[in-house]
Amino acid sequence: MRSPWGRRGERPPVPGRGASPEWESSGAGSIPDSAPDPDHLEGAGPPPIEPGLPRLAFVGAGRVGTALGCALRRAGWPVTAVASRDAARRERFLALVPGATAHAQPHAILDEADLLFLTVPDDEIVAVAAGIRLYSGQAIVHTSGVLPAVALAPAMAAGTEAGSFHPLVAFTDLDTALGALPGSRIAIEGDEGLLPLLEELAGALGARPVRVTAEGKVAHHVAAVLAAGGLVALLDVIAELGAAAGLRGEDQLGAYAGLAQQSLENARRLGTSLALTGPIARGDTGTVRCHLEALRQVAPDALPVYVALTERALLLAEARGELEQARSAELLALLASAR
Ligand SMILES: NC(=O)c1ccc[n+]([C@@H]2O[C@H](COP(=O)([O-])OP(=O)(O)OC[C@H]3O[C@@H](n4cnc5c(N)ncnc54)[C@H](OP(=O)(O)O)[C@@H]3O)[C@@H](O)[C@H]2O)c1
């Protein structure tokens, strides 16, 4: 099916941190329960809406729905409606998205939208979609990282399109989310005819769209979870070892932050294999043996993490072709003995 909307020229990116309302984190969802004071919104108000743009509406006024609704309206897109079961969340959305209407039920916003954003928890997407029936010409997306667009099948009818639109951003408080969207990546997937619009919406947010496949959605989500929570867990191990080394306070992690940043930059620039440094890259078996002995003493919980990551590093070193086979086998046996 051909989308009823075409591609347009470049739109201004959503304003970043500092230009957003002065919200503070507050409890559940880190979004305050009361509506923000409109006087605290940007002085000049939202930019005018270009005629002919598809109308956007949101089901779910939580962290992602509220932030995307606000950001897209500030980028000049018509955000026309929100459905939320919670009166305070509806109020908050209206205060941030001037001109929108708010409803308690998802089906009530159908007449006001060309593209529906289902910004509800992953586990609720199929059930909420089942309570919606799109009209021909309408489209729907969810923002889950793990589910493919086909999860929206219960809402579909002839002549409709579905997609997924997953910002690789941690939506903590609104201000932080609005600041993080520009420059971020947004993973998109779904019906071919809808993808150009989703790419344009990502661009309007100042983000870069990346296309993932429906079959690859779970792998994509594992990657995202490792890049966020997984990295934080690794940083926790690093800080534990920093403490074991006698470092105190911020230094327990801060001492290694520069190395971590440099490694990320090198891996992006050179690729992971060439970015590898350290004893494995050098084939330094004695150092690895020394590490394993120390870990057993000072941080036994960190031992499986060290072993798993070092085995992976060994693969990278082998891929580089600089590690002698005998040395590689020796390291592998040493690591296996520590499992
Ligand atoms: N949080 C993140 O950092 C992040 C990042 C990228 C993508 N995502 C994805 O974005 C989606 C939304 O996440 P979120 O963090 O915004 O969640 P959230 O803050 O918990 O908000 C979810 C919203 O959905 C509504 N809702 C929940 N169950 C519902 C139901 N049965 N029927 C109708 N509405 C229902 C909630 O209630 P009300 O009706 O009361 O409004 C709330 O407004 C998820 O798919 C998540 O995986 C999240």
For residue 255, being part of any structural domain is answered with: yes
228 with 338, same domain: the answer is no
241 with 275, same domain: the answer is no
CA-wise closest residue to 127 among 66, 61, 60, 67: 60
Residue 179 CA, ligand 1 centroid: distance in Å: 20
Please compute the mean of the pLDDT values over residues 274-300 and round it to a whole number.
Answer: 95
70 with 168, same domain: the answer is yes
Mutate to test the pocket of ligand 1, among 119, 169, 174 (most ligand atoms within 8 A of CB): 119
For residue 15, being part of any structural domain is answered with: no
CATH number, position 191: 3.40.50.720
Please compute the mean of the pLDDT values over residues 147-169 and round it to a whole number.
Answer: 98
For residue 223, being part of any structural domain is answered with: yes
82 Cβ closer than 6 Å to some ligand 1 atom: no
291-297 contact pairs (CB < 8 A, 24+): 292/334, 292/335, 292/338
166 Cβ closer than 6 Å to some ligand 1 atom: yes
Total domain count, the chain: 3
Please compute the mean of the pLDDT values over residues 162-177 and round it to a whole number.
Answer: 96
Residue 60 CA, ligand 1 centroid: distance in Å: 6
Cα 51 from Cα 65, distance rounded (Å): 23
Calculate what percentage of the chain has a pLDDT beyond 90: 81
CA distances from 24 to 27, 30, 36, 174, 235 (A): 10, 8, 10, 8, 26
62 Cβ closer than 6 Å to some ligand 1 atom: yes
* Least reliable range by pLDDT among 20-24, 163-167, 218-222, 327-331: 20-24
pLDDT of 6:
43
Which element (helix H / strand E) includes 272?
helix 272-275
226 with 337, same domain: the answer is no
- How far the first Cα of the chain sits from its last, in Å, is 54
207 with 220, same domain: the answer is no
69 Cβ closer than 6 Å to some ligand 1 atom: no
pLDDT of 322:
84
**pLDDT tops 80 at residue 201:** yes
64 Cβ closer than 6 Å to some ligand 1 atom: yes
306 Cβ closer than 6 Å to some ligand 1 atom: no
* Strand intervals (E) in the chain: 56-59, 79-83, 101-103, 115-118, 139-142, 161-167, 185-190, 208-211
- Greater confidence, 44 or 303? 303
100 with 142, same domain: the answer is yes
pLDDT of 46:
80
CA-wise closest residue to 54 among 72, 77, 74, 38: 77
90 with 196, same domain: the answer is yes
pLDDT of 51:
83
What is this structure's pTM? 0.86
Q: Band the pLDDT of 44: cuts 50, 70, 90.
A: low
Please compute the mean of the pLDDT values over residues 192-216 and round it to a whole number.
Answer: 98
20 Cβ closer than 6 Å to some ligand 1 atom: no
Q: Give 64-84 pLDDT, tens digit per residue.
A: 999 999 999 999 999 999 999
Q: Which of 173, 191, 214 is the last residue of a domain?
A: 214
**Do you know the residue count of the chain?**
339
Q: Give 110-148 pLDDT, tens digit per residue.
A: 999 999 999 999 999 999 999 999 999 999 999 999 999
**pLDDT tops 80 at residue 31:** no
Residue 16 CA, ligand 1 centroid: distance in Å: 23
For residue 98, being part of any structural domain is answered with: yes
**Nearest CA owner, ligand 1 atom 45:** 144
- What is the residue range of 237's domain? 216-267
pLDDT of 245:
97
**pLDDT tops 70 at residue 60:** yes
pLDDT of 13:
37
145 Cβ closer than 6 Å to some ligand 1 atom: yes
Q: Which of 174, 194, 214 is the last residue of a domain?
A: 214
Q: Which of 267, 282, 303 is the last residue of a domain?
A: 267
User: Strand 185-190 to strand 161-167: parallel, antiparallel, or no bridges (unpaired)?
Assistant: antiparallel
- Greater confidence, 112 or 10? 112
291 with 250, same domain: the answer is no
205 with 220, same domain: the answer is no
Point out the ligand 1 atom lying closest to the alpha carbon of residue 131: 32
pLDDT of 34:
40
pLDDT of 168:
98
**pLDDT tops 70 at residue 106:** yes
103 with 209, same domain: the answer is yes
For residue 188, being part of any structural domain is answered with: yes
For residue 230, being part of any structural domain is answered with: yes
pLDDT of 47:
84
For residue 39, being part of any structural domain is answered with: yes
Cα 336 from Cα 76, distance rounded (Å): 57
pLDDT of 50:
81
Residue 278 CA, ligand 1 centroid: distance in Å: 42
pLDDT of 4:
47
For residue 23, being part of any structural domain is answered with: no
248 with 160, same domain: the answer is no
103 Cβ closer than 6 Å to some ligand 1 atom: no
Are the C-beta atoms of 134 and 140 separated by less than 8 Å? yes
**pLDDT tops 60 at residue 332:** yes
Mutate to test the pocket of ligand 1, among 33, 64, 93 (most ligand atoms within 8 A of CB): 64
119 Cβ closer than 6 Å to some ligand 1 atom: yes
32 with 88, same domain: the answer is yes
Please compute the mean of the pLDDT values over residues 198-220 and round it to a whole number.
Answer: 98
Cα 11 from Cα 9, distance rounded (Å): 6
